[in-house]
Amino acid sequence: MKVKFKGNEITLEGKEIKVGDTAPDFIATDNGLSAVNSKDFTGKRAYVSVPSIDTPVCDLEVRKFNEEAAKLNNVKIYVISMDLPFAQGRWCGNEGINAVQTLSDYKDRSFGKEFGTYIKELGLLTRAVFVVDEKNKVTHVEYCEEVTSEPNYEAALNALK
């Protein structure tokens, strides 16, 4: 899979996830600095990987998923980035983001390694969306070909419904 950042090819580290795979477990940090283990997640969910929530495209993406998450029943959306938990919490509070949960991969890069989203050259996560069903099977995968482009919202949201 080839992914570019501003037209330049980048290296993604970790395992590439495909539809039908069992979603790998990962550990991330919540806004209160507590470790969160995905083994504890249940139900249908989406993992939305973004480079940094405080950039224009990520801002639009998180707002869109937040708006849509509020309309969905029995679905959880996790937005994961390398941003520090303090920055994530502050940004969400300032922007009224409350229907998605932000998680930071800054400490162990566990999500980036397990989902193949860690950008070697930048130390950030690439833009990607993974939908996981109630049985922990991946039902939708999108690694955006260009990191600075928005994902296909409709495809991800249809997979969540």
Tens of pLDDT along 20-78?
999 999 999 999 999 999 999 999 999 999 999 988 898 889 989 988 888 888 899 99
* Contact between 111 and 80 (Cβ < 8 Å): yes
- Which entry of 28, 50, 57, 58 is annotated as an active-site residue? 58
Q: Could you tell me the CATH number of the domain that includes residue 129?
A: 3.40.30.10
Quote the domain boundaries for residue 118.
Answer: 3-160
Indicate the number of domains in the chain. Answer: 1
Q: What is the pTM of this model?
A: 0.94
Residue 58 annotated in active site: yes
Gyration radius of the chain over CA positions: 14
| CA distances (Å), origin 112, targets 18, 23, 26, 74 | 15, 13, 9, 26
| pLDDT of res. 127 | 97
Backbone angles phi, psi at 58, to 5 degrees: -65, -40
Q: What pLDDT digit, counting tens, does each position of 72-82 carry? A: 888 999 999 99
Q: What is the mean pLDDT of the chain?
A: 94
DSSP 34: -
